[in-house]
Structure 1
Amino acid sequence: MQVITDLLPVILFFIAYKKAGIFVATSVAILSTLALMLYSWFKHGKIEKMLMINGIVITVLGGITLLLHDKTYIMWKPTAIYWIAALGLLISRYGMQRNLIQNMLGKMMAPPAHLWDKLNLYWVAFLLALGVLNLYVAFHFEEADWVNFKLFGVTSLMFVFIIAQVFALKAYWIEQNSPPA
């Protein structure tokens, strides 16, 4: 369910883009993200950090896009999110001595401590590379190609990266005891 809500603004952006263009799609992305934030607030009493950051970035860069009628700013949005996430992983690990990847996955797997740091750095490198790739596609290909890449390309790359980690770390997965039937 979380994946669907995370992808919902991107999917709605894609649909709106196909029907009405980049500026309507930007408005839809802003409104759908803000709606998700409100839903999260009313349902859980809080807004997750990444959703909050995404909401701020989409509102600022999307707002500038609409105000100046310049698609450049919305095209920078994915890169900004990826680089903020990479920076967050680095600051958390080396500034606060907390490995966010370990916090998220620590109940599912138990690799040696040094592998948690490697995994964290792999995520940082992946997110930095994804940001660069977004900029390359945004400014070296047609707008429609970038929109398709944003939904299908990034989602596919993320899926492949996660699956590769699952296979690489399969020896460390913790067996989940299922309750008797």
Structure 2
Amino acid sequence: MKFLFELFPILLFFGAYTATKNIYIATGTAIVATLGQVIYSLVRHRKVEKMLWINLGLITVLGGATLLFHNSTFIYWKPTALYALFASILLGGWYVKRINVIEKMMGAQLVLPEAIWTRLLWAWALFFAGMAVLNVLVAFHYPSAFWLSFDTFSQCTPQATCDQLREDLWVKFKVFGTIGMTILFVIGQSIYLSRHITETPDGVAEVKSE
């Protein structure tokens, strides 16, 4: 249920875009949905997770700019801003305060050697950085995207048709690409950890040193 709750805004965003083919209606829907998440969390749980506040801030600022200036470029930058922020938090915590944020988040569930915690930190930081760059490539360098036919964009006319194809590609990447790659990354991480995990008497998963 928590996973579906977190996906709620992006699913509504995709639904609104699919129904209308209008990035501005979809963006407004995402803003309202994210605000609804925050209100629900405050009423139901009396607290809001930091991740949700961050997401609300970004969608409000960049989504609001998209609607205000009627320019979809702002919303295209939203995933990159979010992933870059995550990577910065992980690496900033490590280099500035020598804090492993991944260990701080997962340390209650896993007992890992320091070396493995460090690998997980770098793996997530590089994943987030890579996703930030990939979003820019899809959003702003779409003609060279390898999964498109060679002349899809070079021959499209008028310009409005090209813009619509660009939006369609980016929306599909945002919904299916980012979620799919995140799931695959988590599965890969789980497979890596499963080679070493043993169960302790108190039920905490422990990973043996390599």
TM > 0.5: yes
What is the Cα deviation at residue 174 of structure 1? 4.7
1:16 and 2:16 correspond:
yes
| CA spacing shift, 1:47–1:174, aligned 2, 3 Å | farther
Select the structure that is richer in helix. 1
1:170 aligns with 194
Residue type matched to 1:38 in 2? I
What is the Cα deviation at residue 114 of structure 1? 1.6
1:62-93, CA deviations, whole angstroms, 9 ceiling, x for partnerless residues?
00000000000001001101111111112223
In 1, Cα distance between equivalents of 2:31 and 2:52? 12
Q: Is the radius of gyration larger for structure 1 or structure 2?
A: 2
Give the structure-1-normalised TM-score.
0.92
Selected match of 2:172 from 116, 125, 148: 148
Q: Residues 78 and 131 of structure 1 are in contact (CA less than 8 Å); yes or no, is this contact kept in structure 2? A: yes
Matched residue SS, 1:98? coil
In 2, Cα distance between equivalents of 1:106 and 1:128? 23
Give the share of equivalent positions with the same residue, in percent: 42
1:137 aligns with 138
Residue type matched to 2:4 in 1? I
1:48 aligns with 49
Give 1:96-115 correspondences, 5 Å limit.
96-115=97-116
In 2, Cα distance between equivalents of 1:10 and 1:131? 17
Give 1:55-134 correspondences, 5 Å limit.
55-134=56-135
Give the structure-2-normalised TM-score.
0.80
Q: Residues 30 and 55 of structure 1 are in contact (CA less than 8 Å); yes or no, is this contact kept in structure 2? A: yes
1:160 aligns with 184
Matched residue SS, 1:169? helix
In 2, Cα distance between equivalents of 1:26 and 1:135? 18
What is the Cα deviation at residue 154 of structure 1? 0.6
